[in-house]
A = this chain, B = another copy of it.
Amino acid sequence: MDPREEPLSSRTLYEGRIVTLRVDQVTLASGVQTEREVIHHVPAVAMLALTDEGKVLLVRQYRHPVGRAILEIPAGLVEVGEDPRETARRELMEEVGYDADNLQRIGSFYSSPGFSDEIIHLFLATGLQPASREADDDEDLRVLSLTLEEWREALEEEGTMDSKTAAAFWWLQARGIERCLQR
C-alpha cells in the first residue's frame, strides 16, 4: 500500500493574488504528528511551440522571485472554468502571438510537490499561424524563435533554466523535431 498521511487540521494564513498559504497538522504512518506548509497555486499550462520551419518559440522574461530574466517556453495560469487546452491556445496568442492548429498533451507534472500543489500541463503546439499578440499589462517579455541547436547554446550560456523549460527541452531532444512536425 502507498505511504499516506492523515490530515488533522488546517489553518489558512494568507490568501493572495497568486498564492494561498496553509499550515496543516498531519499524522504520519508511524503515528508521529508533524506540520506541513502548503502553498496553493492554480494550475498552469506551458507550450513547446514549434513552427513549420522547426523553430521553437520562447520568451525571455524577468522573474522577480529569482531576481533575473530567464529564457522559458511560453506559459500561463488556467482561469476558473477554463479547460487547460483553451488556456494553452489563449496564452500562446497572448505571449508569442501565434494560434496553434494542433495541441498535443505531452504530460503533466507538479512543479514542487514538497510544498506546493501547482500542476503544469505541458503541450506540444504545432501548425502555428501568426495572429495579433495581445499581451498582459503586467508582463514584459521578449519573444525569440530559435533552432534546437540555438536553444541548446542559449540554455548553456544562461546556466539556469526553469523546470518546465528543462522538461520540454529534454523531451524535444529525446523525440527529435522531425517526429514532432509529422502529422
Contact = CB atoms under 8 A, between A and B. Distances in A.
A17 B23 CA distance: 10
A60 B2 contact: yes
A69 B3 contact: yes
A64 B119 contact: no
Which bucket holds chain A's interface residue count? Answer: 35 or more
A159 to B, nearest CB: 7
A163 B167 contact: yes
Q: Tell me the number of copies of this protein.
A: 2
Contact of A115 (B13, B41, B165): B41
Contacts of A5: 62, 64, 140
Nearest to A22: B65
Contact of A62 (B4, B19, B119): B4
Given A24-B64, A38-B64, A70 B170 contact: no
Interface in A94-118: 107-118
A121 B141 CA distance: 26
A74 to B, nearest CB: 13
Interface stretch (A25-33, A49-57, A83-91, A126-134): A25-33
Given A112-B118, A114-B65, A163 B161 contact: no
Nearest to A64: B36
11 contacts: A13-B13, A14-B21, A17-B37, A19-B37, A21-B21, A39-B39, A39-B116, A109-B160, A111-B111, A111-B112, A112-B163
